[in-house]
Amino acid sequence: MAELRFDGRVAVITGAGGGLGRSYALLLASRGAKVVVNDLGGTFDGTGASETAAQKVVDEIKAMGGEAVPNYDSVSEWESAQKIVQTAIDAFGKVDILINNAGILRDKSLIKMEIEDYRKVMAVHLDGTFFCTKAAFPFMRENNYGRIVSTASAAGVYGNFGQTNYGAAKMGIVGLMNCVKQEGAKYNILANTLVPVAGTRMTQTVLPPNIVEKLKPEYVAPIVAWMVSEQCDVSGNIFTAGGGYFSRAAVVEGPGVFFDTDAGDITPEMIMEKLDEIKNMAGAQEFGSATEQTGKALSHMKFD
């Protein structure tokens, strides 16, 4: 297998001052990419700011002979997200790769969650992913090339106690990427989503130390490298990675049942009678777009 390389490619990686983002930055830079290391440098719950985190990773990359510049802006505002992307344009003239990785946590049960905890988490994860993607997209379109990876979480895809804010933002990112996939298709812009698990300062708060230590971010980075490479051949996919485990997750739909709407009203009792079939997931399928799914729903109907 030929070595995966990023020579001549420019990558913007948000939240790359530590944890998972740092491991992506080091891997891509070690294989020839020029990297914008973005990090606001605050605490894991999104307070404060510091230039140290991003600068340290830039220093690491330079020390191994790579090319990188720091950026300390927040992903969570439209103006500052534009500055992150502009840093790539100013330093390297383009942006080929965007990894939306920046994140914070404010876990609380729904009852105890302050509105500010909800808003702040949505702002960093969902708004931040939207803003950075919107800022990078025109430059990618101009070059007819783009690779976008955004970061979801099992907490959003499958649910987790105490993470209504985080789970909503993370599953929102899946919806966002499903649509970016459509808009990027004709410009060779691929948009995929990652569901990682790794021992970082974020998971230090919830996982025991022996697990945190073994779940190295470096076990996630290789699939991210493929997802942002020229060799990547999928868009709108979700990949899970962590602790040496790699898989693809997907939203699928069962075969379902069709009622003849010309035969009369559909009652709740008719639904309850057919629940086993409605719930059945054997033979479930994926859809490439909302149009495809609606096409199936309407496939048995006759229109004038």
Task: Verify binding: residue 17, ligand NAI, rule CB under 6 A.
Answer: yes
Structure tokens at 28: 């891509």
41 binds ligand NAI per the rule CB under 6 A: yes
- C-beta pairs of 80-84 under 8 Å, 24+ apart in sequence: 81/128, 81/131, 81/132, 81/134, 81/135, 82/131, 82/135, 84/12, 84/14, 84/36, 84/38, 84/132, 84/135
Q: Does 38 bind ligand NAI (CB under 6 A)?
A: yes
Whichever of 216 and 274 has its CB closer to ligand NAI, that residue is: 216
Closest residue to ligand NAI, Cβ-based?
19
What is the distance between the alpha carbons of residues 194 and 232, in angstroms, rounded to a whole number? Answer: 14
By C-beta, is 35 or 197 nearer to ligand NAI? Answer: 197
127 touching ligand NAI, by CB under 6 A: no
* Separation of alpha carbons 216 and 225, rounded Å: 16
How far, in Å, CA of 118 to CA of 131, rounded? 18
Out of 9, 13, 24, 39, the only residue in the binding site for ligand NAI (CB under 6 A) is 39
If one asks whether residue 102 binds ligand NAI (CB under 6 A), the answer comes out as yes
Of the pair 66, 242, the CB lying nearest ligand NAI is at 242
Q: Which of 49, 43, 87, 86 is nearest to 69 (CA)?
A: 87
Chain centre to alpha carbon of residue 251? 15
CB under 8 Å to 30, separation ≥6 — which residues? 64, 66
* Interface residue with ligand NAI, options 133, 153, 165, 240 (CB under 6 A): 153
Single residue of 21, 66, 167, 184 touching ligand NAI by CB under 6 A: 21
Q: Considering the rule CB under 6 A, would residue 201 count as an interface residue with ligand NAI?
A: yes
Tell whether residue 241 is a contact of ligand NAI (CB under 6 A). no
Interacting positions 61-90 with ligand NAI (CB under 6 A): 74-76
Under the binding rule (CB under 6 A), the answer on residue 197 touching ligand NAI is yes
Q: Which range in 11-19, 113-121, 273-281, 296-304 contacts ligand NAI by CB under 6 A?
A: 11-19
Candidates 166, 187, 219, 245; catalytic one: 166
189 CB contacts (<8 Å, ≥6 apart)? 137, 140, 141, 145, 146, 147, 148, 180, 183
The answer to whether the CB of 136 falls within 8 A of the CB of 148 is: yes
Q: How far is the CB of 60 from ligand NAI (least distance, A)?
A: 14
CA pair distance 277, 275, nearest whole angstrom: 5
d(C-alpha 230, C-alpha 159), whole Å: 33
Binding range to ligand NAI, per CB under 6 A, among 174-182, 195-203, 276-284, 293-301: 195-203
Q: Which is nearer to ligand NAI, 95 or 145 (CB)?
A: 95
Least Å from the CB of residue 74 to ligand NAI = 4
CA atoms within 13 A on the CB side of 109: 2
Active site residue 187: no
Nearer to ligand NAI, 245 or 258 (CB): 245
Q: Which stretch binds ligand NAI (CB under 6 A): 88-96, 181-189, 193-201, 245-253?
A: 193-201
Query: C-alpha dihedral over 119, 122, 123, 125, to 10 degrees?
Result: 160
- Please name which of 175, 86, 172 lies closest in space to residue 132, comparing C-alpha atoms: 86
Q: Note the residues at the interface with ligand NAI (CB under 6 A).
A: 14-15, 17-21, 38-42, 44, 46, 53, 74-76, 101-104, 124, 128, 151, 153, 196-198, 200-203
The catalytic site residues sit at: 166
